[in-house]
Amino acid sequence: MIGNPYPLGLRLAGRRVVVVGGGAVATRRVPALLDAGADVFLVSPELTPALHAHVDAGRLHWAPRRFVPADLDGAWLVQVAVDDPLAAASVSAAAAERRIFCVRADDRSAATAWTPAVTRHGPVTVAVFGGGDPRRAMSVRDAVRDLLNVRTGLAAAGRGVPPGGAAPGRVALVGAGPGDPELITVKGWRLLTEADVVVADRLVPGLLLDELRPDVELVDASKIPYGPSRAQEEINRILVDRALAGKVVVRLKGGDPYVFGRGGEELLACAEAGVPVTVVPGVTSAIAVPAVAGVPVTHRAVAHEFTVVSGHVAPDSPDSLVRWPALAGLRGTLVVLMGLKNLAAITATLTAHGRDPATPVAVIQEGTTGAQRTLRSTLGAVAADVVAAGLRPPAIVVIGDVVGTLDV
């Protein structure tokens, strides 16, 4: 006898949850488990770049091999995220022997637990089951989210043709904000609910991916700094090919598409292929991250200008387009993105050209997220302090007197 699901809210903080599989499904599900505080153990011979980033950051444990039943020892929940029915069935059997609830991405009918359609609004989490129909659950979930956001009219206006419709394809370049999933714009979120395909970067808030329809194609276009990356030309090709096939494509980027996001290159590729593009600005980390850390980039009588630069190319490199000596002479705030690798060279160049070594500096890692860390230092000491503190990308460097303005 098959009955209705019994709804529960699992409190997984500190409890072992096993995820089997390292592909697109796991990429979508792991962020919600981490957000719940689960002790995630991931088993898969290979991982997507986004999952690798979680491993590198120490957020989860990874066994680079195939599943064995002993992996479930001590587990409270298992998420099967593979498309091999035999492999998934073996995990289900091991879970059943241990009386562990098992979620199956490949076969809902064979699962002992289902993942609902979820929306989050501050401390409120709404989970919807659709009687085995994911589209029904998503529709109800979206209506609830509209009400929670008090944006019913806006969210309902302009909804696209349902997936599988006859409308021509299109691309939306959507800024997802600096890390907090609630900082995406209402328009950006609405376009996500309409998407057939989502091409996402590593810095995209993972909980946004958890709320996608189950039939959405998720393309992991992660660009891990100084590590593996998918060529920009390949990303352009995916956007164009999917749109020409009649799909609604969302290119989801951390921050803003046009602030060191290569959104302009993607727009030009689409325009050349005759694909219509909508650009949805995002909250840029250059301003939002310092603000959340208590640092305004401008302040009356302290800074009348701020400059945002990329630090991914060293100041002495012939490829650098930044006039670092000129920046050293400015009196306002300097915000450096992607600058941790070259921070020692950047600070040395600025001080060599006249910037006071005592100038206050703040470095904010993973700003606006639960993993945010802030380091306060000075221009002369910050490079060594960052190494000593073990800070890592993504991080924003703020240089200027505004760093201490709001200290009370």
**Secondary structure letter of residue 159 according to DSSP:** -
| Bond before 394 cis per omega within 30 degrees | yes
Instruction: Please measure the distance between the N-terminal and C-terminal CA atoms of the chain and give it in whole angstroms.
Output: 63
| 154-175 per-position pLDDT tens digit | 333 344 444 444 457 999 999 9
How confident is the model at residue 37, as a pLDDT?
A: 95
Annotated catalytic residue within 201, 210, 220, 256? 201
DSSP helix, strand, coil percent of the chain (3-state; round to 5): 35, 20, 45
Q: Is 187 a catalytic residue?
A: no
Annotated catalytic residue within 223, 247, 253, 256? 223
User: Pairing state of beta strands 333-337 and 395-399?
Assistant: antiparallel
How confident is the model at residue 155, as a pLDDT?
A: 37
Question: What percentage of the chain carries pLDDT values higher than 70?
Answer: 92
Band of the pLDDT at 69, cuts 50, 70, 90?
very high
Band of the pLDDT at 147, cuts 50, 70, 90?
confident
Query: How many residues in total does the chain contain?
Result: 408
pLDDT at 87 over 50: yes
pLDDT at 198 over 80: yes
**Structural domains present in the chain:** 16-121 (3.40.50.720), 170-280 (3.40.1010.10), 286-404 (3.30.950.10)
pLDDT at 230 over 60: no
Band of the pLDDT at 70, cuts 50, 70, 90?
very high
How confident is the model at residue 223, as a pLDDT?
A: 60
How confident is the model at residue 408, as a pLDDT?
A: 67
More confident residue, 223 or 99: 99
Across the range 367-373, mean pLDDT stands at 94
C-alpha to C-alpha distance for 373 and 382, rounded to whole angstroms: 14
| 330-346 per-position pLDDT tens digit | 999 999 999 999 999 99
pLDDT at 250 over 50: yes
Residue 333, exposed/middle/buried by CB under 10 A (0-12, 13-18, 19+)?
buried
C-alpha to C-alpha distance for 367 and 345, rounded to whole angstroms: 23
pLDDT at 225 over 80: no
Q: Is 210 a catalytic residue?
A: no
More confident residue, 219 or 154: 219
- Residues 89-99 as b or e (16 or more Cβ within 10 Å = b): ebbbebbeeee
Q: Rounded to 5 degrees, what angle do the CA atoms 19, 24, 27 make?
A: 55
pLDDT at 14 over 90: yes
